[in-house]
């Protein structure tokens, strides 16, 4: 049975402190860190509307694979940074978005990881195959 979408529905968002801290330690931009903090506060308080969420690719052109994941760009709609979340079900059967990574969408420094590569590493515990 198909259920009609609920226009007021929002996803609860959870942040793992150690993960968020590690990402901000690897964000060289003061602006990026400030935006990440502001977004975290906002999402924790207001939850996240599905119409802000973009599905991640199961096979992206950079070799990353993020099934069951969604993302937002910061600032919206097409900002420099991205935040990736994994859709999960808690022990009571309720859905929530689990923070996976924050970072630059298109890093310019040689060897630097994109937010997608970081997220991929965290759910697969290994780097993407290029």
Binding site for other proteins (CB under 8 A): 2-3, 5-7, 9-11, 14, 16, 18-19, 21-28, 33, 49-51, 53-57, 60-62, 64, 66-68, 70-71, 82, 84, 86-91, 95-96, 98-101, 105-106, 109-123, 125
Tokens for 63, please give them: 């070799």
For tokens 């993302």, the residue is 71
Indicate the DSSP class of residue 123. Answer: H
Q: How far is the CB of 35 from other proteins (least distance, A)?
A: 14
* Contact of 36 with 28, CB cutoff 8 Å: no
- How far apart are the C-alpha atoms of 21 and 26, rounded to whole Å? 9
* Contact of 87 with 69, CB cutoff 8 Å: yes
- How far apart are the C-alpha atoms of 46 and 50, rounded to whole Å? 12
Q: How far is the CB of 45 from other proteins (least distance, A)?
A: 19
Q: How far is the CB of 42 from other proteins (least distance, A)?
A: 18
Axis crossing angle, helix 17-25 with helix 30-46, rounded to the nearest 10: 160
Q: How far is the CB of 39 from other proteins (least distance, A)?
A: 15
């Amino acid at each position: 049975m198909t259920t009609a979408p609920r226009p007021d529905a929002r996803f609860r968002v959870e942040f793992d402190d150690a993960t968020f801290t590690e990402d901000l330690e690897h964000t060289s931009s003061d602006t990026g860190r400030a935006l990440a903090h502001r977004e975290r506060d906002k999402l924790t308080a207001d939850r996240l509307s599905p119409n802000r969420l973009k599905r991640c690719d199961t096979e992206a052109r950079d070799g990353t694979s993020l099934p069951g994941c969604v993302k937002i760009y910061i600032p919206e709609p097409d900002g420099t940074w991205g935040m990736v979340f994994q859709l999960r079900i808690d022990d009571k059967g309720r859905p929530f978005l689990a923070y996976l990574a924050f970072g630059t969408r298109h890093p310019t420094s040689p060897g630097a990881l994109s937010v997608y590569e970081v997220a991929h590493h965290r759910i697969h515990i290994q780097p993407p195959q290029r």
